[in-house]
Structure 1
Amino acid sequence: MVNVLVGCTGSVATIKLPLLVQNLLVLKPSETKIRVIATEHANHFFNEEDIPADAEIFNDSDEWAVWDKRGDPVLHIELSKWADIFVIAPLDANTLAKIANGLCDNLLTCTARAWDLSKPLIFCPAMNTKMYQHPLTAAQISTLISWGYQEVPVIEKTLICGDTGTGAMAEIDTIVAVIKGHIVT
């Protein structure tokens, strides 16, 4: 069994989350388990009913719902232990900055902070061209790569806002192929 944790953030590319989960579930259908962490802003871009029923979805409120007293499980720790692979697709500029600077103010960033660096963490940036081209973005991506995280680079295309340029999340097939490289032997 391979446990894949998918994180999604407040990028419009989150509209591709249902397709990503569907494609991951067909890699090794009886051997792949998917859980999703959606940030508060990610929830704006998809409907939970569009996610296959076999995938569990967690939100920030779940972090506090499972903990009541000392000794209770802490969700971000449990998710980081459960997962064999963590893929953040899309990784928006805000969450990229948070992770690169060690901030952990939601379930996704806390899970990333608790991540065992001996396991793959794959990230797929997605943001407007102007944001992607800002010097901070390259520095923050370099920081994540220096920790051993694997980037699936952005592509150039016409973005939802109408701008054309780099910054779009890689195609789902590309992301799935990278993940498959880690789970199929």
Structure 2
Amino acid sequence: MEPHPTAASLVERKFHVLVGVTGSVAALKLPLLVSKLLDIPGLEVTVITTERAKHFYSPQDIPVTLYSDSDEWETCVIRAWDCSKPLLFCPAMNTTMWEHPLTAQQVDQLKSFGYVEIPCVYKKLVCGDQGLGAMAEVETIVDKVKEVLSQHNGIQQS
């Protein structure tokens, strides 16, 4: 029988989180998101970004490994994803795009793969729209990451 892991041994384990960011105004939240994720004990964070996303934040404000490419290859990373590992996605777009029927189909397709949606929220968007489409708040995302890590790896939520 394997001994029950102690809290100290769980903190020593490294859990890897890959944050993907695209050219959406929601990329403004990346520095804060990375900072809050790094507050989770035992978590290692890496960022994959499109060049267009860098328009919304300064790469110098990201204190972790940052991979970027002008060809927006994040979809290739997702297609190569090990489906036994959790994948969370946070939609962000203007309200008209969010309400388009194709968006619902795409979100449903991702969820059918077992990916976890962190739903967008209703607010006044940068484009002036009032409605759904804003990326979830950083605290909501971090809480969901903690929850998923707890479910998949036995980390105690703090």
Q: Same fold (TM over 0.5)?
A: yes
Inter-partner Cα distance in structure 2 for 1:124 and 1:15 = 14
Letter of the aligned partner of 1:60 in structure 2? D
Runs of 4 or more above 3 Å deviation: none
1:44 maps onto 2:55 in alignment: yes
Question: Residue 171 of structure 1 aligns with which residue?
Answer: 137
Structure 2 equivalent of residue 8 of structure 1: 21
Unaligned runs of 5+ residues in structure 2 are: 1-13
- Partner residue of 1:20 out of 20, 33, 45: 33
The Cα shift of 1:163 comes to 1.3
Letter in 2 for 1:51: I
Q: Find the partner of 1:144 among 110, 118, 122.
A: 110
Alpha-carbon shift at residue 182 of structure 1 (Å): 2.1
Change (3 A) 1:161 1:106: closer
Query: 1:59-93: CA deviations, max 9, x gaps?
Result: 116xxxxxxxxxxxxxxxxxxxxxxxxxxxxxxxx
1:24-173 equivalences in 2 (<5 Å):
24-28=37-41, 31-52=42-63, 55-60=64-69, 106-173=72-139
Q: Give the secondary-structure state (helix, strand or coil) at the position aligned to 1:5.
A: strand
Taking the aligned partners of 1:158 and 1:137, their CA distance within structure 2 comes to 20
Question: 1:124 & 1:22 partners in 2: Cα distance?
Answer: 17
SS in 1 for 2:132: strand
Shift of 1:40: 2.0
Structure 1 length as normaliser, TM-score?
0.72
Show CA shifts across 1:116-172 (max 9, x none).
Answer: 111000000000000000000000000000000000001000001121100110110
Which structure is larger by alpha-carbon Rg, 1 or 2? 2
Which letter maps to 2:58? N
Amino acid at match of 1:177: D
Mark the runs of 5 or more structure 1 residues left unpaired by the alignment. 62-104
Write the letter of the residue equivalent to 2:21.
C
Once the two structures are superposed, what CA deviation does each residue of 1:8-61 show, in whole Å capped at 9, x if it has no partner?
A: 011100000000000000011xx2111000012111111011112xx1000116
SS for the counterpart of 1:44 is helix
